[in-house]
């Protein structure tokens, strides 16, 4: 038996401290803890509510997805954000028929952008949520990680099968089989819908605009611009990106009295006086691939919160879906802005304009334009969702990098986490302070639109700005 793998599954306090390695040779003892909050005799699934079940089946798939992200090569975060988002939607959709047995869904899947109709269970058939979710997420991870290693593909198969076997002590085999078939059917429809969002054209041929102040490839790899057309992808929520485009960045200038020069100078000055704590923050949020990745880091934060709250299966899947949707649509908005303004990175200005030719940032500069800050945008989007679901002033300690012997970091709120993730890129030398602040606001704006459109929460940026315009006319 692979003891590292079994520990990964069983130890709910350590979360993602151990990487998955080797083929899955799992005994059932390691996976039977997911099922119910209370001991219930074997009964028909229509008598079981998702709220009776703990989150363990979803927790294991979230852990698997973090592992797959960490071991799949990509030049930027977009592909992993899509996987997080669409997998979350599938997870929640797989539970909706069971949710309808005792309450109303938190949001309607049909309201998503061009979402095809999803089938209902056959008359007289009831869905056992954990079995439906298990099969659905196995399908998504197989299909959304087509380049996964043979070892990782075997791990997906083993996890699905081991969980399926464990269900037999809870529910009749026929109900498990039907629920799994239903989950795969939903996943197939949603996956095919996801395939039409435009991501396949995100990295088509591109010639970056030339001129002073424009982005250009940076040392040490001088890689071409990553996925320049990602900002044209279809959003998951229609209208989520309306009126979320930030103002233009400061006008480019080499004048030492200009705002742009001072903005770059601040990055250089910080690099010369950087403290140990600032370096720790930069490295804690480095999140580059291969490794946990930025969306993987936030998925692991969500995973830890779900465990801390002992959230029901339904709430866990809901949080997974809503945070992924916000993350996906924010990233599209952010990417569209980046390639609208094509602002050069600090390393380019510091070396060529300021003359510090040997200067290098604390963390590697990624291959895409600078404005706005990406980590600020994506972090803010998830933070706003988690604040909505779990409350403000939520004290939390992040153990994501315990497996690398990095000290865990503690925060007073989800927004405080996002703010630290954003400023980490200034400490790392790859973004300007203004850019990360703009990114934070952009993520918040997109998420406010989503919360209004899907949940009728708040007013949404679009609606609020329309009100302002009406008042001014």
| Among candidate residues 176, 199, 222, the one where a domain is terminated | 199
Do 256 and 301 belong together in one domain? Answer: yes
Q: What is the pLDDT of residues 321-368, one digit of tens each?
A: 999 999 999 999 999 999 999 999 999 999 999 999 999 999 999 999
Do 132 and 248 belong together in one domain? Answer: no
266-286: average pLDDT = 98
- Residue 206 lies inside a defined structural domain of this protein: no
The total of structural domains in the chain comes to: 2
Q: Which long-range contacts (CB under 8 A, 24 or more apart) does 253-257 make?
A: 254/212, 254/353
C-alpha 348/C-alpha 353 separation (Å) is 8
Instruction: Give me the pLDDT at residue 200, please.
Output: 96
Do 152 and 290 belong together in one domain? Answer: no
Q: pLDDT tier at 157 (50, 70, 90 boundaries)? A: very high
42-46: average pLDDT = 39
- Which pair of tokens denotes residue 328? 């996906």
Instruction: Give me the pLDDT at residue 462, please.
Output: 59
C-alpha 123/C-alpha 359 separation (Å) is 68
Q: pLDDT tier at 289 (50, 70, 90 boundaries)? A: confident
Instruction: Give me the pLDDT at residue 217, please.
Output: 97
Do 275 and 184 belong together in one domain? Answer: no
Do 312 and 361 belong together in one domain? Answer: yes
Do 312 and 455 belong together in one domain? Answer: yes
* Model pTM score: 0.89
Going by their DSSP bridges, the two strands 396-398 and 409-411 should be labelled as antiparallel
Share of residues in the chain with pLDDT > 70 (%): 86
Q: What is the pLDDT of residues 168-199, one digit of tens each?
A: 988 999 999 999 999 999 999 999 999 999 99
**Structural domain boundaries, residue 89:** 3-199
Do 184 and 62 belong together in one domain? Answer: yes
C-alpha 36/C-alpha 55 separation (Å) is 9
The answer on pLDDT for 298 being more than 70 is yes
Do 147 and 271 belong together in one domain? Answer: no
Do 107 and 30 belong together in one domain? Answer: yes
| Among candidate residues 177, 199, 221, the one where a domain is terminated | 199
Do 145 and 10 belong together in one domain? Answer: yes
Do 319 and 459 belong together in one domain? Answer: yes
Q: pLDDT tier at 240 (50, 70, 90 boundaries)? A: very high
For residue 6, cis peptide bond before it (omega within 30 degrees of 0): no
Instruction: Give me the pLDDT at residue 465, please.
Output: 54
In the block, residue with structure tokens 């990782």: 152
Do 349 and 421 belong together in one domain? Answer: yes
Q: pLDDT tier at 50 (50, 70, 90 boundaries)? A: low
Q: pLDDT tier at 464 (50, 70, 90 boundaries)? A: low
Instruction: Give me the pLDDT at residue 466, please.
Output: 45
CATH of the domain at 72: 1.10.606.20
Instruction: Give me the pLDDT at residue 76, please.
Output: 84
Mean of per-residue pLDDT scores for the chain: 88
Among 100-114, 126-140, 191-205, 414-428, whose mean pLDDT is lowest?
100-114
Share of residues in the chain with pLDDT > 90 (%): 80
């Amino acid at each position: 038996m692979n003891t590292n793998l079994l520990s990964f599954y069983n130890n709910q306090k350590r979360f993602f401290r151990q990487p998955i390695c080797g083929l899955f040779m799992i005994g059932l003892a390691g996976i039977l803890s997911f099922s119910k909050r209370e001991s219930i005799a074997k009964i028909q699934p229509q008598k079981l509510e998702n709220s009776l079940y703990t989150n363990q089946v979803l927790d294991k798939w979230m852990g698997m997805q973090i592992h797959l992200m960490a071991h799949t090569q990509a030049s930027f975060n977009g592909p992993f954000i899509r996987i997080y988002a669409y997998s979350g939607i599938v997870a929640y959709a797989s539970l909706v028929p069971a949710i309808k047995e005792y309450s109303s869904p938190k949001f309607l899947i049909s309201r998503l952008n061009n979402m095809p109709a999803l089938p209902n269970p056959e008359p007289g058939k009831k869905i056992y949520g954990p079995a439906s979710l298990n099969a659905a997420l196995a399908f998504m991870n197989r299909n959304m990680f087509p380049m996964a290693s043979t070892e990782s593909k075997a791990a997906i198969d083993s996890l699905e099968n081991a969980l399926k076997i464990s269900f037999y002590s809870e529910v009749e085999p026929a109900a498990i089989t039907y629920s799994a078939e239903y989950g795969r059917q939903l996943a197939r429809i949603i996956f095919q819908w996801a395939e039409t969002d435009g991501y396949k054209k995100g990295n088509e041929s591109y010639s970056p605009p030339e001129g002073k102040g424009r982005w250009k490839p940076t040392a040490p790899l001088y890689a071409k611009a990553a996925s320049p057309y990602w900002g044209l992808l279809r959003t998951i929520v229609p209208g989520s990106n309306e009126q979320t485009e930030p103002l233009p960045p400061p006008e480019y200038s080499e004048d030492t009295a200009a705002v742009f020069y001072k903005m770059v100078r601040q990055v250089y000055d910080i690099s010369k006086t950087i403290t140990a704590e600032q370096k720790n923050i930069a490295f804690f949020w480095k999140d580059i691939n291969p490794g946990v990745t930025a969306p993987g880091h936030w998925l692991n934060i969500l995973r830890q919160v779900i465990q801390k709250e002992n959230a029901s299966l339904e709430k866990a899947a809901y949080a997974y879906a809503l945070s992924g949707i916000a993350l996906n649509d924010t990233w599209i908005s952010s990417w569209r802005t980046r390639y609208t303004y094509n602002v050069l990175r600090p390393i380019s200005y510091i070396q060529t304009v300021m003359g510090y030719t040997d200067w290098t940032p604390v963390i590697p500069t990624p291959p895409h334009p600078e404005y706005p800050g990406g980590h600020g945008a994506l972090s803010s989007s998830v933070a706003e969702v988690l604040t909505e679901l779990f409350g403000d002033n939520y004290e939390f300690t992040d153990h994501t990098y315990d497996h690398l012997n990095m000290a865990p970091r503690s925060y007073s709120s989800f927004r405080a986490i996002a703010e630290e993730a954003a400023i980490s890129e200034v400490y790392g030398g790859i973004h300007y302070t203004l850019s990360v602040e703009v990114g934070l606001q952009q993520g918040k704006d997109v998420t406010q639109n989503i919360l209004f459109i899907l949940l009728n929460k708040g007013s949404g940026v679009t609606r609020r700005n329309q009100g302002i315009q009406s008042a001014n006319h």
